[in-house]
Amino acid sequence: EAGVTQSPTHLIKTRGQQVTLRCSPISGHTSVYWYQQALGLGLQFLLWYDEGEERNRGNFPPRFSGRQFPNYSSELNVNALELEDSALYLCASSSFTGEGTYNEQFFGPGTRLTVL
């Protein structure tokens, strides 16, 4: 069974540009989570999608947005890139089955974004 996949692996952008990152969850998983991991730092929760809807959002500005498609894959969009957006962006999926579910998240390999 395929794990969580992310594309691209690496990305280099300049300040002010826009970027789109992609994630495909494990088959059967309906929830997709996005995290930002800046160099040497922990994981900061960005967004959570389930069944096509945004379920929760971390403390990030509105220029971080995303969506989930009917096949449960997801995109993370970052507008007006800033230098501090340079980080590893991790996507995870889980089989969320409603409130009260605490399933573990399975992570993809990440997309390393460098903003120059």
Partner 1 sequence: AQKVTQAQTEISVVEKEDVTLDCVYETRDTTYYLFWYKQPPSGELVFLIRRNSFDEQNEISGRYSWNFQKSTSSFNFTITASQVVDSAVYFCALTYNYGQNFVFGPGTRLSVLP
Residues that bind partner 1 (CB under 8 A): 33, 35, 41-43, 45, 48, 55-56, 88, 90, 92, 96, 99-110, 112
**Residue 58: CB minimum distance to partner 1, A:** 9
**Residue 36: CB minimum distance to partner 1, A:** 11
Chain centroid to CA 89: how far?
6
3-state DSSP helix/strand/coil percent for the chain, to nearest 5?
5, 50, 50
For partner 1, give the closer residue by CB, 57 or 67. 57
The C-alpha atoms of residue 38 and residue 20 are separated, in whole angstroms, by 17
Do you know the residue count of the chain? 116
For partner 1, give the closer residue by CB, 36 or 85. 36
